[in-house]
């Protein structure tokens, strides 16, 4: 009986319907009930992800838990779902972050809280849809629809400059995605199918591949984001409420990386190869240049936002460096494992950092580093947890933040040692901006009376931060279960990405 | 209990102590906290000692144990595990013994501190991390331990987090170490490229198969590395036939050594160590004298099979070590803070160890690490005893004549000092003499300079050590009247560790020189190629520990030491006016040395300020001016304007934007599907 449960559909529709239920049911008037329903739905969703992890069989790159139904038969567009080793961990991360965001909102969202819950829940369902869709159009619909609750979150519960941020966010992502849609439709018409796996097998000429690759790049580079299309992210983060920032950093950015792995590399291997040097170059710029930019930030959220961009540089570097590693199977697997682990790990770490800034913001109502100092005196428990997060952000071995950077640096050394040289600067820069912020905010004498009277984190905040702390450590000390789950899919992607579609020529 | 369980207990006992103290410290109370952590470290020490004896007397074989697979994919397995051999066993004893002494000592030193439990948690955690480092059997775990000790050091230097100087020093220490680690990680990347693994065992066995070829093949025609396929190069510059190629082995060694320079505070990455004295004194003894800072020396010795194949890297090691040994010692002469004098002395002694590595005298380097751990921990803890007695006064100009009031501290300091300056029969004599002898035998590049540096260093060491001893313990008292009235010897928890450290400072060289220095204790761990064996002569002339020490009284090294001692007595005690005259005569030199050769000023202005300014320029001109204002806002201004008008027309809710967007998208989708 349970085996036939459409887990993926449930993971998508349970939170979405739950979101509607909260919105049109109890709403803000019966806030307690909205709260209860939201938490129950979030817990159920998380249990479903647990169930998903339980039933998912390692050792194969085939889609599992497949669901299929006709959606728009005249164009052969399917409601097709399925997951492989790279989708499952991202769905699990989504379920976890959703629960934490809902729990976090209870204390820190002051108005229209039911609607906030509703937005978070709907977003979760839609993001699960992005990771589970195996039909390109279905994927695209989730991809765009997911933005709506995010706009709302920033636009309604955001800071003073929220309109500018939302518009910027909108323009960037919209222009990016529209090219992807064109590419998808082009391929769908050629193929007569929108199944992503068919597209991966489709034969395409080099110029077709280049065009399609660039179209995908426009969508995914904005989302992840890569330099130079990254400037929407700091603005969006600064204006977004805590939960919005957490979801944005923890999950949404990962969709860019997921897109590269699911679409760009397998569908247009030769197109990607043609641009590989540029992509690596811009990944390195993201790591080094953005590292310096982060150093100059005065606003905590901006600093973490820039740090996210630099960390995502490792994801794109790991993804595209495999194109320069022909024949080195170990290094290729290591690079992609690094990219994937970096995505999951960054979800946990950046989530934890944005929650932590939220903790401070709720108390002091400022994100300016200079308004703080000596927080450790009044909030020792919080200070210890933040220490762990900051160190994880600086890539400390034993935390999850280390693995991705380590794998990507090691594997890119074999492509060209100078790539590793530039990427390695993160060891110094990442530590510099992370620890300098920590020093100015946490250490020292209490900067003001207000700081010296702050209350340490309460049970709810402790629950959120401790959960993330434990996962960051667990993943750092024993990544093997995650790596084992992803490896067959990663080998499959490497196989697709390194076999030319140009026939005779290569 | 199996060997694996015992080794696990060695690392986990301190870890559990740390976790209990850190998480439940407040509930446990002070007493239970130090009892638990001391129990953890004592267990680790007991097992370590047993293991050490099994190698020293039992001739135990090396052991390679996998604890668990950290990650495995694509035929690559990265594990967490232990490599147990003579070198590991020695390091385990050093780490756990000094840590145990420091734990006990801290009961007294930290008794009034609010962060008592936190402190014990940190030092136990440090013990765990350091053990993980020295016991590792692979590069991943080595790097884990390497960074973990760095973090605990960071936490402990900044232990008094309200002190501005402390929280500056700890960040500086971490960042400078990260510069070293940057090299280290590239070295690991190069190892992975060359050997395709991160485990020690296959790396060493491959190097070993190259080593046995030396002497069996004509090395002028083909290098042994080429036979086993380790002669890869990487191109550094240029294209096509014009490329400059570097040997990958040399690249690996140099990168790993950059890591060692960070951790073992070699010039120019030494700048963090003197500042680290902002931390509580017990950790200066444990971390910044006996254990963590010697991790770099340990690592190079561990990697001796690699370094033996790179003359280039060895030459670099020699030069860096020699510079550090001499020039950091000089700074020690002009310092007035008791802890900083000992810190500069540590820098200089680390330089000695590194120089020994550079001339392939790895066992001498490691032996000096061993003896130094005891007498330098002793000197730091004795300094701490003085500091406590004087109510946290660290300026030696406000001390003097303390030998009567603090007799145990005085005698222990005296033993430590005699060991440090290399008095025959004391621990430091054997190790330092061996280093000087090995450098004397060295033929490589820069060996002349190295020889000068280590010999001049002998005078310098005697100068700063005796100066400190005289100014602190002898002469007229300059202690203020209030403090002087209450002046008394430190409690037993402080003096006992001093005594327990004084014993090995006195005797360990004498006891261990034969097996470790001239014997074959390290034969399973350290590799020296035939032409490189600079300790050969020493081995032939050594005789036994007694005759070697007796002979020590008639060597030039001894006379140099005596010269330093006499000069110190003359300048700083007999005729203090002489010191003033000398310092006036040597004003430019004094200024240079007093300002520590301006390393700090340079780093602060160029690297620290430079990086932040660069960040600001990138941000303001790159991100904001060019990308945002130039490209994005220019293009989007119109859109924004329209949107803002639309906002006025409508209710101001973003639902509407979203709705319009979705409708627009649907329209677009429809158009593409049906029309295009």
3-state secondary structure of A443: coil
Cβ neighbours of B73 in A, within 8 Å = 333-334, 337, 483-484, 487, 490
CB contact at 8 A, A161 and A239? yes
What span, in angstroms and rounded, lies between the C-alpha atoms of B90 and B60? Answer: 13
Over residues A219-253, the pLDDT tens digits come to: 999 999 998 889 899 999 999 999 999 999 999 99
Inter-chain CB proximity A420 and B186 less than 8 Å: yes
Facing B144 at nearest CB: one of A155, A231, A398: A398
Stretch 399-438 of chain B: residues touching chain A, C-beta under 8 Å = none
Locate A280 and state its tokens. Answer: 């690596």
Cβ neighbours of A294 in B, within 8 Å = 615
What span, in angstroms and rounded, lies between the C-alpha atoms of A358 and A487? Answer: 36
Facing B158 at nearest CB: one of A292, A443, A483: A443
Inter-chain CB proximity A413 and B186 less than 8 Å: yes
pLDDT at B606: 85
Inter-chain CB proximity A152 and B655 less than 8 Å: yes
HSE-up (13 A, CA, CB side) for residue A442: 30
Q: Residue A165 — pLDDT band, cuts 50, 70, 90?
A: confident
Locate A207 and state its tokens. Answer: 């110029």
Distance from CA of B673 to the nearest CA of A (A): 7
Cβ neighbours of B70 in A, within 8 Å = 477-480
CB contact at 8 A, B363 and B522? yes
Q: Which residues contact B50 (CB under 8 A, 6 or more apart)?
A: none
Q: What are the residues facing B69 on neighbouring strands?
A: B79
**At A280, which helix (H) or strand (E)?**
helix A269-295
What span, in angstroms and rounded, lies between the C-alpha atoms of A48 and A83? Answer: 14
Inter-chain CB proximity B140 and A292 less than 8 Å: no
pLDDT at B371: 96
Compute how many other C-beta atoms are within 10 angstroms of the C-beta atom of residue B602.
12
Inter-chain CB proximity B192 and A163 less than 8 Å: no
Q: Is the pLDDT of residue B244 over 90?
A: no
Q: Is the pLDDT of residue B653 over 80?
A: no
CB contact at 8 A, B198 and B77? no
What span, in angstroms and rounded, lies between the C-alpha atoms of B194 and B554? Answer: 49
Facing B188 at nearest CB: one of A231, A297, A410: A410
Over residues B113-169, the pLDDT tens digits come to: 999 999 999 999 999 999 999 999 999 999 999 999 999 999 999 999 999 999 999
Kindly state the DSSP code that residue B262 receives in the 8-state scheme. Answer: H
Q: For B442, phi and psi rounded to 5 degrees?
A: -65, 145
What span, in angstroms and rounded, lies between the C-alpha atoms of A7 and A82? Answer: 10
Q: What mean pLDDT is predicted for residues A13-26?
A: 91
Inter-chain CB proximity A398 and B668 less than 8 Å: no
Stretch 178-207 of chain B: residues touching chain A, C-beta under 8 Å = 178-179, 181-182, 185-186, 188-190, 192-193, 196
pLDDT at A358: 95
Over residues B310-358, the pLDDT tens digits come to: 999 999 999 999 999 999 999 999 999 999 999 999 999 999 999 999 9
**At A353, which helix (H) or strand (E)?**
helix A329-364
Distance from CA of A5 to the nearest CA of B (A): 31
SS3 content of chain A, % helix, strand, coil (to 5): 80, 5, 20
SS (H, E, C) B420-446: HHCCCCCHHHHHHHHHHHHHHHCCCCC
Q: Where are the alpha helices (DSSP H) in A25-112?
A: 31-55, 87-108
3-state secondary structure of A372: coil
Stretch 153-172 of chain B: residues touching chain A, C-beta under 8 Å = 154-155, 158, 161-162, 164, 167-168, 171
What span, in angstroms and rounded, lies between the C-alpha atoms of B429 and B439? Answer: 15
Q: Residue A506 — pLDDT band, cuts 50, 70, 90?
A: very low
Q: Is the pLDDT of residue B221 over 80?
A: no
Stretch 539-578 of chain B: residues touching chain A, C-beta under 8 Å = none
The radius of gyration of chain B's CA atoms, rounded to the nearest angstrom, is: 29
Test the A interface: residue of B245, B610, B658, B669 with most A CBs within 10 Å:
B658
First to last CA, chain A: 49
Q: At what angle do helices B3-56 and B116-135 cross, to 10 degrees?
A: 70
Inter-chain CB proximity B672 and A181 less than 8 Å: yes
Pick B622 or B118 by higher pLDDT: B118
Please check whether residue B653 touches A, CB under 8 A: yes
Q: Which residue's structure tokens are 């080794």?
A: B7
Query: B312-326, B545-559, B589-603, B619-633: which range is least confident on average?
Result: B619-633
What span, in angstroms and rounded, lies between the C-alpha atoms of A92 and A87? Answer: 9
Q: What mean pLDDT is predicted for residues A289-297?
A: 93
Compute how many other C-beta atoms are within 10 angstroms of the C-beta atom of residue A44.
17
3-state secondary structure of A502: coil
Over residues B397-439, the pLDDT tens digits come to: 999 889 989 999 999 999 999 999 999 999 999 999 999 999 9
Q: What mean pLDDT is predicted for residues A448-463?
A: 93
Cβ neighbours of A168 in B, within 8 Å = 632, 636
Q: Is the pLDDT of residue B666 over 70?
A: no
Mean pLDDT computed over every residue of chain A: 92
Mean pLDDT computed over every residue of chain B: 90
Q: What mean pLDDT is predicted for residues A302-306?
A: 95
pLDDT at A210: 92
Over residues B506-529, the pLDDT tens digits come to: 999 999 999 999 888 999 999 999
Question: How buried is A370 (Cβ within 10 angstroms: 0-12 exposed, 13-18 middle, 19+ buried)?
Answer: exposed
Test the A interface: residue of B119, B141, B665 with most A CBs within 10 Å:
B665
Facing B619 at nearest CB: one of A170, A293, A331: A293
SS (H, E, C) A324-342: HCCCCHHHHHHHHHHHHHH
Number of residues that make up chain B? 676
Q: How far is CA B323 from the centre of its chain?
A: 17
Distance from CA of A234 to the nearest CA of B (A): 11
Q: At what angle do helices A7-24 and A87-108 cross, to 10 degrees?
A: 20
Inter-chain CB proximity B158 and A337 less than 8 Å: no
Query: A91-95, A204-208, A352-356, B316-320: which range is least confident on average?
Result: A204-208
Q: Is the pLDDT of residue A65 over 70?
A: yes
Which chain A residue has the Cα nearest residue B154? A435
pLDDT at B661: 60
HSE-up (13 A, CA, CB side) for residue B119: 29
CA distances from B235 to A416, B247, B517 (A): 9, 9, 40
Q: Where are the alpha helices (DSSP H) in A296-328?
A: 300-321
What span, in angstroms and rounded, lies between the C-alpha atoms of B381 and B497? Answer: 8
Stretch 357-376 of chain A: residues touching chain B, C-beta under 8 Å = 374, 376
Facing A427 at nearest CB: one of B164, B182, B615: B182
pLDDT at B613: 86
Q: What mean pLDDT is predicted for residues A316-337?
A: 94
Over residues A49-64, the pLDDT tens digits come to: 999 999 999 988 899 9
Pairing of strands B233-237, B244-247: antiparallel
């Amino acid at each position: 009986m349970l085996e036939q449960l459409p887990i993926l559909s449930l993971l998508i529709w349970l939170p979405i319907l739950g979101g509607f239920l909260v919105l049109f049911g109890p709403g803000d008037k019966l806030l307690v009930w909205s709260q209860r329903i939201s938490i129950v739905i979030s817990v159920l969703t998380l249990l479903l992800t647990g169930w998903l992890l339980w039933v998912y069989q390692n050792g194969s790159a085939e889609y599992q838990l497949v669901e299929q139904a006709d959606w728009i038969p005249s164009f052969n567009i399917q409601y097709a779902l399925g997951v492989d080793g790279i989708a499952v961990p991202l769905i699990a991360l989504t379920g976890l972050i959703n629960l934490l965001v809902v729990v976090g909102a209870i204390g820190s969202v002051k108005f229209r809280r039911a609607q906030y819950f509703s937005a978070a829940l709907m977003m979760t369902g839609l993001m699960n849809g992005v990771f589970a869709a195996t039909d390109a159009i279905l994927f695209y619909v989730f991809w765009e629809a997911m933005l709506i609750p995010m706009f709302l979150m920033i636009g309604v519960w955001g800071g003073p400059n929220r309109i500018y941020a939302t518009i910027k966010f909108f323009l960037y992502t919209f222009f990016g995605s529209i090219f992807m849609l064109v590419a998808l439709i082009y391929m769908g018409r050629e193929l007569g199918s929108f199944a992503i796996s068919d597209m991966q097998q489709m034969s395409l000429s080099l110029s077709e591949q280049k065009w399609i690759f660039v179209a995908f790049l426009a969508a995914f580079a904005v989302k992840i984001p890569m330099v130079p299309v990254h400037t929407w992210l700091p603005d969006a983060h600064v204006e977004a409420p805590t939960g919005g920032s957490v979801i944005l950093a923890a999950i949404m950015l990962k969709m860019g990386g997921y897109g590269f792995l699911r679409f760009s590399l397998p569908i247009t291997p030769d197109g990607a190869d043609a641009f590989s040097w540029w992509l690596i170059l811009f990944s390195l710029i993201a790591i080094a240049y953005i590292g310096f930019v982060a150093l100059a930030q005065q606003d905590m959220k901006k600093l973490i936002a820039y740090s996210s961009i630099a960390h995502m540089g490792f994801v794109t570097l790991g993804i595209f460096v495999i194109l320069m590693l022909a024949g080195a199977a170990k290094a290729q697997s290591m690079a992609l494992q690094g990219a994937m682990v970096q995505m999951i790990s960054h979800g946990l770490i950046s989530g934890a950092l944005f929650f932590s800034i939220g903790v401070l913001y709720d108390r002091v109502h400022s994100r300016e580093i200079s308004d703080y100092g000596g927080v450790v005196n009044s909030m020792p428990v919080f200070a210890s947890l933040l220490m762990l997060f900051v160190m994880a952000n600086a890539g400390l071995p034993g935390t999850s933040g280390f693995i991705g950077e380590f794998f990507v640096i090691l594997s890119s050394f074999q492509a060209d040692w100078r790539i590793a040289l530039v990427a390695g600067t993160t060891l110094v820069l990442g530590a510099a901006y992370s620890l300098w912020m920590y020093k100015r905010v946490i250490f020292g004498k209490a900067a003001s009376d207000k700081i010296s009277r702050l209350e340490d984190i309460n049970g709810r905040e402790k629950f959120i931060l401790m959960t993330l702390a434990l996962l960051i450590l667990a993943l750092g000390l024993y990544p093997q279960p995650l790596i084992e789950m992803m490896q067959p899919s990663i080998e499959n992607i490497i196989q697709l990405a390194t076999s030319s579609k140009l026939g005779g020529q290569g | 209990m199996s060997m694996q369980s015992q080794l696990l207990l060695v690392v986990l006992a301190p870890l559990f102590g740390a976790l209990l103290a850190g998480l439940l410290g407040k509930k446990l109370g002070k007493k239970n906290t130090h009892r638990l952590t001391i129990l953890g470290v004592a267990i680790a020490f007991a097992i370590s000692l047993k293991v050490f004896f099994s190698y020293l007397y039992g001739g135990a074989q090396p052991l390679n144990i996998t604890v668990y697979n950290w990650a495995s994919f694509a035929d690559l397995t990265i594990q967490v595990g232990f490599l147990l051999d003579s070198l590991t066993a020695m390091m385990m004893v050093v780490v756990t013994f000094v840590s145990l002494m420091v734990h006990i000592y801290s009961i007294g030193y930290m008794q009034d501190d609010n962060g008592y439990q936190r402190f014990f948690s940190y030092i136990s955690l440090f013990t765990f991390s350091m053990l993980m480092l020295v016991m590792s059997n692979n590069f991943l775990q080595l790097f884990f331990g390497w960074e973990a000790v760095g973090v605990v050091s960071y936490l402990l230097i900044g232990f008094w987090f309200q002190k501005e100087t402390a929280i500056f020093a700890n960040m500086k220490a971490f960042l400078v170490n990260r510069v070293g680690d940057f090299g280290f990680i590239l070295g690991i990347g190069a190892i992975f490229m060359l050997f395709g693994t991160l485990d020690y065992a296959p790396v060493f066995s491959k190097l070993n198969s190259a080593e046995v070829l030396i002497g069996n093949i004509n090395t002028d025609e083909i290098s042994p590395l080429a036979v086993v396929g380790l002669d890869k190069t990487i191109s550094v510059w240029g294209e096509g036939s014009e490329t400059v190629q570097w040997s990958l082995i040399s690249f690996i060694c140099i990168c790993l050594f950059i890591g060692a320079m960070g951790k073992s505070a070699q010039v120019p990455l030494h700048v963090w160590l003197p500042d680290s004295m902002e931390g509580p004194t017990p950790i200066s003894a444990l971390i910044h004298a006996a254990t963590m800072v010697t991790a770099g020396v340990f690592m190079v010795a561990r990697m001796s099979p690699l370094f033996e194949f790179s003359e280039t890297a060895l030459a670099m090691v020699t030069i860096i070590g020699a510079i550090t040994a001499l020039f950091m010692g000089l700074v020690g002469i002009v310092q007035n803070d008791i802890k900083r004098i000992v810190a500069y002395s540590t820098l200089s002694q680390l330089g000695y160890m590194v120089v020994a590595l550079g001339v392939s005298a790895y066992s001498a380097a490691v032996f000096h690490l061993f003896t130094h751990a005891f007498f330098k921990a002793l000197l730091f803890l004795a300094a701490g005893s003085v500091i406590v007695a004087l109510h946290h006064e660290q300026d030696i100009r406000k001390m003097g004549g303390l030998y009567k009031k603090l007799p145990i501290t005085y005698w222990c300091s005296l033993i430590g000092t005699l060991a440090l300056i290399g008095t025959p029969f004391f621990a430091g004599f054997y190790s330092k003499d061996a280093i000087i002898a090995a450098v004397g035998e060295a033929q490589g590049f820069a060996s002349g300079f190295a020889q000068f540096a280590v010999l001049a260093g002998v005078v310098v060491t005697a100068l700063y050590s005796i100066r400190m001893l005289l100014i602190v313990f002898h002469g007229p008292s300059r202690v203020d009247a209030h403090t002087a009235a209450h002046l008394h010897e430190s409690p037993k928890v402080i003096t006992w560790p001093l005594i327990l450290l004084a014993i090995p400072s006195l005797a360990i060289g004498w006891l261990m020189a034969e097996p470790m220095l001239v014997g074959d204790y390290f034969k399973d761990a350290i590799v020296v190629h035939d032409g490189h064996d600079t300790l050969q002569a020493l081995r032939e002339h050594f005789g036994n520990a007694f005759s070697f020490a007796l002979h020590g009284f008639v060597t030039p090294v001894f006379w140099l030491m005596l010269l330093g001692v006499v000069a110190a007595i003359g300048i700083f005690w007999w005729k203090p006016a002489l010191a003033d005259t000398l310092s006036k005569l040597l004003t430019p030199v004094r200024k240079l040395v007093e300002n520590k050769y301006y390393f700090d000023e340079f780093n602060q202005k160029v690297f620290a300020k430079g990086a932040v300014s660069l960040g600001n320029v990138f941000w303001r001109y790159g991100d904001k001016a060019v990308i945002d204002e130039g490209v994005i806002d220019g293009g989007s201004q119109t859109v924004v304007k329209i949107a803002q008008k639309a906002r006025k027309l409508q209710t101001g809710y973003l639902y509407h934007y979203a709705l319009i967007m979705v409708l627009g998208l649907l329209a677009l989708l429809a158009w593409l599907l049906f029309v295009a």
